[in-house]
């Protein structure tokens, strides 16, 4: 197994591994690479069928079922992240981290490329440990001890963000209510590294402040989070699989392939409680 960084501060390509067979020490090494680099790209996994995808996720740990994306009857563990050729909106097409609106947010995801456009459709990642480390000391002091409220309701509810797009008919869960409070700076549950844990999709306000009072500081943090040198780019090929850590990274699915379909299979891995 060989690790080749995707960018100096974010992401790694893992070579010489077959995910369909990975277990034991190999699985531990993959885990550790993802906790450190935030996201791992593994190419050439042509035998990573839906059944292999599910079996690998079960060897990793628990599976969280996503409440909003379409599921299939054959494989209800797999969420289908699909944009049809005639749709303009994609899923995840802005910087975010998944499931931060849950009390115990998902650890991460295993995303498999099933149908790709002829070009485009890459996914950007940004490393929240690097983002935190690079904050000026004054900003670190300002957010020390703060907590923030997260929800997905404005994104998925009946008159929410997706409902106003051509993705509306494809999503489920419009009636759900979500909400969770997390520290603004968390410690990675395994490595202990400090990570910035607010995101522009699901964080609404700091605890004890209104949305309007929170926005200026949130925007300073978001600008810092997506600084170009914290980011890396996953360029998909048939057989590519990416596994990411939602605590350590944000991601953004680029929507630059209008007129073509793209379909990915996602299994969401269960996480653990977050603490400052
Ligand atoms: C997701 C997501 C990114 C992509 O599945 O959570 O944001 O590139 N997808 O499809
Ligand atoms: Mn996502």
- Could you give the number of structural domains in the chain? 1
Share of the chain above pLDDT 90, in %: 89
Query: Does residue 167 surpass a pLDDT of 90?
Result: no
What number does the ligand 1 atom closest to the CA of 236 have?
Answer: 8
Q: What is the pLDDT of residue 151?
A: 96
Q: What is the pLDDT of residue 265?
A: 97
Closest ligand relative to 199 C-alpha: 2
Q: Whose CA is nearest to atom 4 of ligand 1?
A: 253
Residue 210 lies in a domain: yes
Residue 274 lies in a domain: no
For 78, residues 6+ apart whose C-beta sits below 8 A from its C-beta are 50, 53, 54, 71, 72, 265, 266, 267
Give me the chain's average pLDDT, please: 96
Query: Does residue 166 surpass a pLDDT of 90?
Result: no
Residue 257 lies in a domain: yes
Asked if residue 239 lies in contact with residue 44, where contact means CB atoms within 8 angstroms, the answer is yes
What number does the ligand 1 atom closest to the CA of 254 have?
Answer: 8
Q: In this predicted model, what pLDDT tens digit does every residue of 15-25 receive, in sequence order? A: 999 999 999 99
Count CB-CB contacts under 10 A for residue 98.
26
- Domain membership of residue 60 as a residue range: 2-269
Q: Which of 41, 53, 67, 123 to mutate to test the pocket of ligand 1 (most atoms within 8 A of CB)?
A: 123
What number does the ligand 1 atom closest to the CA of 234 have?
Answer: 8
Share of the chain above pLDDT 70, in %: 100
Residues within a 6 A CB radius of ligand 1: 81, 91-92, 98, 109, 111, 123, 251, 253, 264, 266
Give the alpha-carbon dihedral of 78, 81, 85, 90, to 10 degrees. 170
Distance from the alpha carbon of residue 92 to the mean position of ligand 1, in angstroms: 5
Tell me, what CATH number does 231's domain have?
3.60.130.10
Average pLDDT over residues 43-69: 96
Query: Does residue 70 surpass a pLDDT of 90?
Result: no
B/e letters for 9-46, b = 16+ CB within 10 Å, e = fewer, are bbbbbbeebebbebeeebbeebbebbbbbbbbbbbebe
Average pLDDT over residues 258-266: 98
Residue 276 lies in a domain: no
pTM above 0.95, yes or no: yes
Q: How far is CA 146 from CA 102, 197, 217, in A?
A: 18, 11, 11
Q: What is the pLDDT of residue 202?
A: 97
Asked if residue 94 lies in contact with residue 201, where contact means CB atoms within 8 angstroms, the answer is yes
Residue 175 lies in a domain: yes
Residue 275 lies in a domain: no
The token pair that represents 244 in the structure block? 């990411």
Select, from the ranges 66-70, 72-76, 194-198, the one with the highest average predicted confidence (pLDDT). 194-198
The token pair that represents 108 in the structure block? 């991460």
């Amino acid at each position: 197994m060989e690790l080749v960084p995707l960018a100096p501060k974010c992401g790694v390509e893992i070579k010489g591994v077959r995910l369909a067979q990975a277990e034991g020490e190999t699985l531990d090494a993959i885990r550790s690479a993802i906790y450190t680099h935030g996201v791992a790209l593994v190419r050439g996994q042509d035998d990573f069928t839906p059944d292999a995808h599910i079996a690998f996720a079960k060897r990793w740990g628990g599976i969280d079922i996503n409440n909003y994306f379409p599921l299939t009857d054959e494989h209800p563990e797999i969420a289908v992240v699909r944009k049809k050729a005639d749709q303009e909106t994609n899923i995840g097409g802005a910087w975010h981290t998944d499931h931060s609106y849950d009390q115990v947010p998902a650890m991460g995801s295993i995303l498999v490329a099933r149908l790709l456009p002829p070009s485009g459709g890459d996914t950007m990642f940004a490393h929240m440990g690097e983002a935190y480390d690079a904050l000026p000391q004054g900003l670190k002091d300002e957010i020390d001890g703060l907590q923030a409220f997260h929800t997905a309701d404005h994104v998925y509810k009946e008159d929410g963000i997706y409902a106003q797009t051509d993705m509306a008919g494809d999503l489920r869960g419009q009636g759900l209510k979500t909400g969770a409070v997390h520290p603004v700076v968390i410690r990675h549950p395994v490595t202990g590294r400090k990570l910035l844990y607010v995101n522009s999709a699901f964080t609404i306000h700091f605890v004890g402040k209104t949305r309007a009072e929170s926005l200026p500081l949130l925007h300073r943090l978001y600008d810092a989070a997506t600084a170009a040198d914290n980011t890396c780019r996953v360029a998909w090929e048939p057989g590519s699989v990416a596994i990411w850590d939602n605590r350590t990274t944000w991601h953004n699915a680029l929507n630059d392939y209008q007129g073509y379909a793209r379909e990915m299979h996602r299994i969401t891995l269960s996480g653990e409680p977050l603490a400052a």
